[in-house]
Amino acid sequence: MNEAYQWLAAHSRETAYLRSIKKLIAWDQRTFIPEKGHAHRAAQLAVLAKLIHERDTDPRVGEYLSKVEGTELTREPESTEAVNIREWRRAFDLNTKIPQELAVALTKASAEGQTVWEKVRPANDWQTFQPYLERIVTLKKEQAAALGYDAEPYDPLLDLYEVGETAAGVAAVFAPLREATIRLLEEIPDEFRRPDTGIITRHFPRDLQEKFSRAAAARIGYDFAAGRLDVTAHPFSTGVGPGDARITTRYDEHFFPMAFFGTLHEAGHAMYNLGLPEEHWGTPRGEPVSLAIHESQSRMWENLVGRTLAFWQYFYPAAQEMFPALEGVSLEAFYRAINRVEPSLIRVEADEVTYNLHIIFRFELERALIKGDLEVSDLPEAWNDKVREFLGLTPPDYADGVMQDVHWSGGHIGYFPTYTLGNLYAAQFFAKAREDLGGLEEMFARGEFAPLLAWLRENIHAQGSRYRPRDLVRVVTGKELEARYLLDYLKGKFVG
Ligand code: ZN
């Protein structure tokens, strides 16, 4: 075997071990660390980040890459070697294209931006936040210029989160989704617009919620011998490595859906991580493809599985037995309560239908900011215009308007589209799974989730990063990514 390739693979794997250790101590930092351990933990993380950065930008990576590119190893573009070389090249270029000075400035501005955002958001203080966001937007434009682009400066920023994706590509799938969603909203009947949501805001004791969530996560296929469920203020999942993918959730004793669907969501992420091909761990062939594909897995288990009537035909008797609050509540009433559709101001609380509208207008705004078509000083007004146009609402303040999300304050411009792309991929994959497997709903109603998980493992998880997202959806479903699968699903569910 080629020596340069062997060196690159060993280098990649060793760096992956460092990243994995970093993930583990970052998980601990958010879960069980003693209060006085934070300063030392921050120092540990900084050292690891430095080591990882040195290894990622090691000039030998560039040298060895040029020795293997264009050789026998890259002849078959989907072979393990060709895939690894392709993705190592991408990462090396990204890591070395940004001047050191700019990288440091970005890190600093993002850290400051987020700190200030956390502090001033509760006080609704946009004026103080504005210069910090202006600084971030300026630096992100510089970053786009350093990375280079063909069509527009938003493209390389988006590509950082969603490999191979472009603004024009996103706009092409978002446009029909936006039009049809706004029309769909008008057709949704009252049973979903105004269900009795009092049912799910009764008292649901925390320990019982935990027991129930764990049982459901295990039933859909999350292996607790390879995972954990703990509590954090902001739920997340982390794939430490083979046999170790952990999740967290948060409980609200007076709002059943929060912990339950949050757990299904994070379990979906974890099951993807646990399904990656172990023999390729530490190289791109064994890594997740992108944020949107990751999100397609979490959203599928949370929504396309977890919010179906069939799913609850199986789980509802156990839920009724566990929670006295559900005594006398019919399955249908419960199903409608967890599926209420109603335009609202806050993205993270939005339902399946309106959620995508929140994302589409954020994409339009951040694209305009980076293009230079919109100034940060005009952002609050532009935001309110979009909320009126898309959702028919007017934000009462900045805190629940333009300042509601953490993303921009932390320099994450180009991240938002991955959420809705995730919904689109989920619906398209799910439609194909149904075509291949037959009556999924009948299986769910019997508590059988293994066939779907096996299908996802084989078609998506086991692929690692062999294909870029758009290629993956084409290979798996035989079609380009299209809005109609998500639209058909939403229409079928809410309008019939
Ligand atoms: Zn997620």
- For 186-238, the pLDDT digits (tens) are 999 999 999 999 999 999 999 999 999 999 999 999 999 999 999 998 999 99
Question: What separation in Å is there between the alpha carbon of 236 and the centre of ligand 1?
Answer: 7
Instruction: Count the residues in the chain.
Output: 496
Q: Which pair of tokens denotes residue 34? A: 């003693």
Q: Phi/psi class of residue 369: alpha, beta or left (left: φ > 0; alpha: ψ in -120 to 50)? A: alpha
Q: What is the DSSP letter of 301?
A: I
Tell me if residue 319 falls in helix, strand or coil. Answer: helix
Amino acid type, 128: T
Residue whose entry in the numeric block shows the structure tokens 């560039």? 62
Q: For 255-271, what is each residue's pLDDT tens digit?
A: 999 999 999 999 999 99
Q: Parallel, antiparallel, or unpaired: how do β-strands 229-231 and 237-241 relate?
A: unpaired
Mean pLDDT of 8-25: 98
DSSP-assigned letters across all residues of 366-414: HHHHHHTSS-GGGHHHHHHHHHHHHHS---SSSTTTTTS-STGGGT-TT
DSSP state, 449? -
**Please, what is the average pLDDT of the chain?**
97
Determine which one of 266, 287, 302, 366 is catalytic.
266
Calculate how far, in angstroms, residue 341's C-alpha sits from the geometric centre of ligand 1.
20
Compute, in angstroms, the gap from residue 72 CA to the centroid of ligand 1: 38
Q: Which structural domains are found in the chain, ordered by start?
A: 3-151 (no CATH), 167-494 (1.10.1370.30)
Q: Tell me which DSSP letter residue 243 carries.
A: T
Of the chain, the percentage scoring pLDDT greater than 70 comes to: 100
The Cα–Cα gap between 435 and 477 comes to 10
Q: Taken in order 53, 55, 59, 62, is the CA torsion positive or negative?
A: negative
Tell me, yes or no, if 112 is annotated catalytic.
no
Amino acid residing at 256? F
The token pair at 70 is 């264009």
Measured torsion, CA atoms of residues 128, 129, 133, 134, in degrees rounded to the nearest 10: -20
Tokens 């299209």 found at: 482
pLDDT for 496 equals 87
Q: Tell which residue, 188, 192, 137, has the closest CA to residue 367.
A: 137
Sheet of 244-249: strand order equals: 229-231, 244-249, 237-241
Token representation of residue 488? 């058909």
How far apart CA 213 and CA 211 sit, in angstroms, is 6
pLDDT digits (tens, 9 = 90+) for 19-68: 999 999 999 999 999 999 999 999 999 999 999 999 999 999 999 999 99
Distance between Cα 233 and ligand 1 center (Å):
15
What is the Å distance from ligand 1's center to 452 Cα? 19
Whether residue 292 has pLDDT greater than 70: yes
The token pair that represents 463 in the structure block: 């692929």
230 beta partners: 248
Q: Residue 454: which residues within 8 A CB-CB, separation 6 or more? A: none
Largest CA distance in the chain: 70
Measure 262 CA to ligand 1 centroid, in angstroms: 9
CA of 298 to the centre of ligand 1 (A): 6
Rounded to the nearest angstrom, the distance between the alpha carbon of 266 and the centre of ligand 1 is 6
pLDDT tens digits for range 127-140: 999 999 999 999 99
Kindly tell me if the per-residue pLDDT of 1 is higher than 90.
Answer: no
Distance 69 CA to ligand 1 centre (A): 35
Helix (H) or strand (E) holding 246: strand 244-249
- Report CA-CA distances (Å) from 207 to 210, 212, 425: 5, 9, 34
State what percent of residues in the chain have pLDDT above 90: 99
Identify any residues that bridge with 238 across adjacent strands, giving them in sequence order.
246
Long-range contacts of range 88-95, CB-CB < 8 Å, 24 or more positions apart?
Answer: 88/8, 88/12, 88/61, 88/284, 89/65, 90/163, 91/56, 92/56, 92/57, 92/61, 92/62, 92/65, 94/147, 94/160, 95/53, 95/56, 95/57
pLDDT digits (tens, 9 = 90+) for 323-356: 999 999 999 999 999 999 999 999 999 999 999 9
Among 40, 112, 189, 211, smallest CA distance to 496 is for: 189
Nearest to 245 by CA among 225, 262, 263: 225
> Model-level pTM?
0.97
Q: Determine the distance separating the centroid of ligand 1 and the alpha carbon of 296, expressed in angstroms.
A: 8
pLDDT tens digits for 77-111?
Answer: 999 999 999 999 999 999 999 998 999 999 999 99
* Beta carbons of 460 and 297 less than 8 angstroms apart: yes
Angle subtended by helix axes 417-437 and 484-494, to nearest 10: 80
Q: What share of the chain is helix, strand, coil (3-state, %, to 5)?
A: 70, 5, 30
- Name the band, by pLDDT with cuts 50, 70 and 90, for residue 451: very high
